[in-house]
Chain A
Amino acid sequence: MQKNKYFVVSLITAGIASAVSAYMMIAKPIRLELALNWIQLGCLFPALYCTIDCAGKDKTNLFCQFQVGAVSCFALGQIYWVLHLLIIGYDERTFSISDLSWIGFYLFLFSAVFGFINPIIKDKKKELRKYRAAALLAPAAFIAAGAVQLLEVIQNGFGDIFYVAVYTAVMAPLSYYTFKLSILPEKIDLRLKAMRPYNILILAIMTVDTAWTFSDLANHGSLFCLCEFLLCILLLSIAPTAYGGIRKWTTC
């Protein structure tokens, strides 16, 4: 019932966000970038409510507390970015503080994945070696993407080298653990199956975020809008997926 509650809240918000996004794309009453940021901000409040409510059910569960931390960080960054666009406008010369908050978002997710899901498997087993090796593909892909972004930043002089490097440094280990936990067979531990949707979701968020950065650097308008919208939907899915995973975990 509780899972349905979060799911229903997320579904309704996603529906409203889709309708508003469609209207903004057709009618264009304000600049599309600002509109999409407003929509993302609108989606973050229900997501934050769901994670806070989920964490309030069991105050001893640090996994849920980290979800609150992650979504709060993202929401704070989004609030700052929207205000920055409204008050100052888009200033290419300076970096944005909101990036710090988005790095915080990934740090909290890393804490949740590394500290709570990863310890359930005895990683040193020989038969798991192939999975560990395969999981290295994910950080390799993110590091390659980061390198391309760095080259783009150096060539065009647009963006911030420091942030690209930090993002890559945070995303690479997170992608390794999420990908490894997603491909490991269920027979090792049933709790892995319970948390699989959550791991896939985090991996999807990172992929969409990287695509978003590329679209921003390449000035690709339609890809940028698509990524912004997908990110809204994925952020809304954090609470139902985390709660569903935790509930199944306890019954394993």
Chain B
Amino acid sequence: MDDLLNIYVCITAPLLLMFFMIKNDSKKLNLFLILGMSACLAASYVNVYLIELTGYSGIQVTYYVTPICEEMIKALPVLIYVAIFKPESENIITASMAIGIGFATLENCYYIMMDGARDFIFLLLRGFATGVMHGMCTAIIGFGLAYVLGQKIQAFTGIFGLLCAAITYHATYNLLISSRGLVENIGICLPVATALFALAIIYKPYNRLNTSRRYQARHMNRNHRHHAQHAQK
């Protein structure tokens, strides 16, 4: 655990220095990355406590405890950010992604420290998979928050619902990645596949909407020109 704290200090110290040099959006992004790493550090301490409390084995903790604990700790900075600053939906999603990626960065370091480097390709794939998975799980909560913001009771039930979804997704990833062979490979591919699927769903309605708006604009222009010509005559 002390090693993880050392790595945390090593990574966050230069990032904190950079924090005073950069401006606006980059500054925010930097801060969220640091917050994500801090969440990872906090989660690792809580996980150690929960191992003692539940009496589960290491693998059982990975299956049943860490998804709940990590997702709740990761969601906290997003919730605080939204509650205090009331940002725009786009900013919420970016912030939650940054927190998730910051979390994954430190978790990957911890993974290398604990299990050692199996091989470069595996580490590369795992790095991407974990990054996307953590980013996406936090983004689910951020995306949902952007939707339910301004609602009353729906906001609470919606947030809890999304948290439940994020926990289950994380647990599914852990279940697959903890196995060996084909199942593990499926686990590595799962986050990227889900992210692509989610992007396809998110951007499809937007595209449809934009296409219809473009059509409307073109139609209006044509009508306008027609009326202008008619007036000239």
B164 touching A100 by the CB < 8 A rule? yes
A79 touching B172 by the CB < 8 A rule? yes
Interface string of A60-85 (1 = CB under 8 A from B): 00100110011011001101100110
Interface string of A35-73 (1 = CB under 8 A from B): 000000000000000001000100100100110011011
**How distant is A242 from chain B, measured CB to nearest CB, in Å?**
16
**How distant is A6 from chain B, measured CB to nearest CB, in Å?**
17
Within 34-73 of B, Cβ neighbours of A (below 8 Å) are at 56, 60, 63-64, 67-68
**How distant is A111 from chain B, measured CB to nearest CB, in Å?**
4
**How distant is A167 from chain B, measured CB to nearest CB, in Å?**
12
Partner of B172, one of A76, A88, A107: A76
Q: Which A residue sits closest to B171, measured CB to CB?
A: A97
A107 touching B160 by the CB < 8 A rule? yes
Within 86-116 of A, Cβ neighbours of B (below 8 Å) are at 87-88, 94-95, 97-98, 100-101, 103-105, 107-108, 110-111, 114-115
B209 touching A69 by the CB < 8 A rule? no
Q: Which residues of B contact A87 (CB under 8 A)?
A: 175-176, 179, 183
**Cα-based distance from A52 to B203 in the complex (angstroms):** 12
B151 touching A62 by the CB < 8 A rule? yes
B67 touching A69 by the CB < 8 A rule? no
Q: Which residues of A contact B147 (CB under 8 A)?
A: 62, 65
**Cα-based distance from A49 to B176 in the complex (angstroms):** 24
Q: Which residues of A contact B175 (CB under 8 A)?
A: 80, 83-84, 87-88
Q: Which residues of B contact A88 (CB under 8 A)?
A: 63, 175
Q: Which residues of A contact B144 (CB under 8 A)?
A: 69
Within 131-181 of B, Cβ neighbours of A (below 8 Å) are at 144, 147-148, 151-154, 157-158, 160-165, 167-169, 171-172, 175-176, 179
B204 proximal to A (CB < 8 A): yes
**How distant is B216 from chain A, measured CB to nearest CB, in Å?**
16
Q: Contact residue range for chain B?
A: 35 or more
**Cα-based distance from A181 to B114 in the complex (angstroms):** 56
Partner of A115, one of B154, B161, B162, B208: B154
Partner of A80, one of B68, B158, B171: B171
A87-B179, A94-B60 given; A52·B201 CB < 8 A: yes
A52-B201, A56-B205 given; A108·B161 CB < 8 A: yes
Q: Which residues of A contact B148 (CB under 8 A)?
A: 62, 111
Which of B164, B169, B204 has the largest count of A CB atoms less than 10 A from its CB?
A: B164
B64 touching A111 by the CB < 8 A rule? no
B151 touching A104 by the CB < 8 A rule? no
A107-B158, A115-B154 given; A73·B165 CB < 8 A: yes
Partner of B176, one of A83, A97, A105: A83
**How distant is B169 from chain A, measured CB to nearest CB, in Å?**
6
**Cα-based distance from A72 to B56 in the complex (angstroms):** 29
B168 touching A111 by the CB < 8 A rule? no
Which of B148, B158, B161, B183 has the largest count of A CB atoms less than 10 A from its CB?
A: B161
**Cα-based distance from A69 to B164 in the complex (angstroms):** 11
Q: Which A residue sits closest to B159, measured CB to CB?
A: A107
Q: Which A residue sits closest to B208, measured CB to CB?
A: A56
A83-B172, A108-B158 given; A95·B64 CB < 8 A: yes
Q: Which residues of B contact A77 (CB under 8 A)?
A: 168
A108 touching B167 by the CB < 8 A rule? no
B171 touching A66 by the CB < 8 A rule? no
**How distant is B226 from chain A, measured CB to nearest CB, in Å?**
31
Q: Which residues of A contact B (CB under 8 A)?
A: 52, 56, 59, 62, 65-66, 69-70, 72-73, 76-77, 79-80, 83-84, 87-88, 94-95, 97-98, 100-101, 103-105, 107-108, 110-111, 114-115
Q: Can you offer 30 A-B residue contacts whose CB atoms are under 8 A?
A: A52-B201, A56-B208, A65-B147, A69-B165, A70-B161, A73-B165, A76-B165, A76-B169, A80-B168, A87-B175, A87-B176, A87-B179, A87-B183, A88-B63, A94-B63, A97-B63, A97-B171, A100-B164, A104-B160, A104-B163, A105-B161, A107-B158, A108-B157, A111-B154, A111-B157, A111-B161, A114-B154, A115-B152, A115-B153, A115-B154
Assuming A62-B147, A80-B168, A104-B164, what are 11 further A-B pairs, CB within 8 angstroms?
A59-B209, A70-B161, A76-B169, A80-B171, A95-B64, A100-B167, A101-B167, A101-B168, A105-B161, A108-B161, A111-B153
